[in-house]
Amino acid sequence: MRKSLTRVERLRSQSDISRVFKSSFRVSCSGAKLVYRKNDLGWNRIAVTLVRKYGNSVQRNRSKRIVREIYRSLKNNLKPGFDMIIVLYPGDYDYSIRESQVKYLLGRAGIFL
């Protein structure tokens, strides 16, 4: 499996994103929430979103970049066949805290091996 986050692994279309939000399971922790559902594909797809009023554009883009990098490094240890949306909340979270949040959420969802 490739280490990069390829185009097919990104959840991009509005219909797919709304389908995940409508019929899905939710797991949350302090600072983040995971919304996920099974897909009929042999791979996972992911999207990272933020709540409203999440700082300025630099903070928003950095937070999303950090979470995508964490996912990219963990994706070989995940069960295939899920659509996931990670919702981030504002706060003073660095890389290591975000990494523990993502691992916790994926573990609670039963996706992390």
Per-residue confidence (pLDDT) for residue 23, from 0 to 100: 84
Give long-range contacts, CB 8 A cutoff, 24+ apart: 17-20.
Answer: 17/47, 17/85, 19/83, 20/47, 20/83, 20/84, 20/85
pTM beyond 0.85, yes or no: yes
CB distance 106 to 34 below 8 Å: yes
Tell me the C-alpha distance between 11 and 82, whole Å. Answer: 10
Per-residue confidence (pLDDT) for residue 1, from 0 to 100: 60
Tell me the C-alpha distance between 33 and 37, whole Å. Answer: 14
Q: Domains of the chain (ranges plus CATH)?
A: 7-109 (3.30.230.10)
Per-residue confidence (pLDDT) for residue 24, from 0 to 100: 81
Q: What is the pLDDT along the chain (113 residues), one digit of tens a residue?
A: 678 889 999 999 999 999 999 988 999 999 999 999 999 999 999 999 999 999 999 999 999 999 999 999 999 999 999 999 999 999 999 999 999 999 999 999 999 98
Tokens coding 34:
């995971």
